[in-house]
Chain A
Amino acid sequence: SSELTQDPAVSVALGQTVRITCQGDSLRIYYASWYQQKPGQAPVVVFYGKNKRPSGIPDRFSGSRSGNTASLTINGAQAEDEADYYCNSRDINGNPPYVFGTGTKVTVL
């Protein structure tokens, strides 16, 4: 199976912008989905596809893709955005059909 690589941790000052990246060969073909996971909770999708944000997700969350890298940007990070973030896509090899990123811990200072 292929892999999706994320930076283990990033920090951002309150109200500033942070970008989380996800790298992998699958992303040249498939769009990433992004999940936010707070301690003790299930992941929640915050962005997916080319430009889709689920209902109820603040518009400060946005996504993009370039080559083999997908990015999730939080514009004007809030304290409640502190969480682990995982990317996910279909797997280029198809077996297994999905691959998850290694996860990024976002700390809001």
Chain B
Amino acid sequence: QVQLQESGPGLVKASQTLSLTCTVSGGSISSGSYYWNWIRQPAGKGLEWIGHIYTDGRTNYNPSLRSRVTISLDTSENQFSLRLTSVTAADTAVYYCVRDSPQLVLPFDYWGQGTLVTVSS
């Protein structure tokens, strides 16, 4: 059973960089054909896809965040990470790491429990 777990600071100052790591257990992050995603959800609001990294390291980002986002893969630690620069209060949200597949009919099947990141002024 694949499990994902987010970790990182829960409080980030405005204009600084948000950094989160997702540790994957129950399977190798570099095997199979999967996208490793970051999705966020502001309190009381809907889900927003941030970006993903493929097993081979290729990335794709939401155009609305592309200039500020970097997602990377650390296969030795079985982790992938999110960096979001120049954060503002609008970046305050629960951040989820999530797995999905390039196969079009398959869903986001495994989710981390989520981690709340608050941007303070």
Interface residues of A (CB under 8 A from B): 1, 30-31, 33, 35, 41-45, 48-50, 52, 54, 86, 88, 90, 95-103
Within the complex, the shortest CB–CB distance from A61 to chain B, in Å, comes to 13
Q: Does B60 contact A (CB under 8 A)?
A: yes
Bound Cα distance A95, B52 (Å): 12
Select one of B46, B104, B111 contacting A100, CB under 8 A: B46
Bound Cα distance A105, B87 (Å): 30
Interface residues of B (CB under 8 A from A): 46-49, 60-63, 96, 104-109, 111-114
Within the complex, the shortest CB–CB distance from A63 to chain B, in Å, comes to 11
Could you count the A-B residue pairs with CB atoms below 8 Å apart for me: how many are there? 55
Within the complex, the shortest CB–CB distance from B86 to chain A, in Å, comes to 20
Please indicate the chain A residues that have their CB under 8 angstroms from the CB of B61 in the complex.
96
Q: Which residue of A lies closest to B102 (CB)?
A: A97
Q: Say whether B113 contacts A33, CB under 8 Å.
A: no
Q: Say whether B107 contacts A30, CB under 8 Å.
A: no
Please indicate the chain B residues that have their CB under 8 angstroms from the CB of A100 in the complex.
46-49
Bound Cα distance A97, B60 (Å): 8
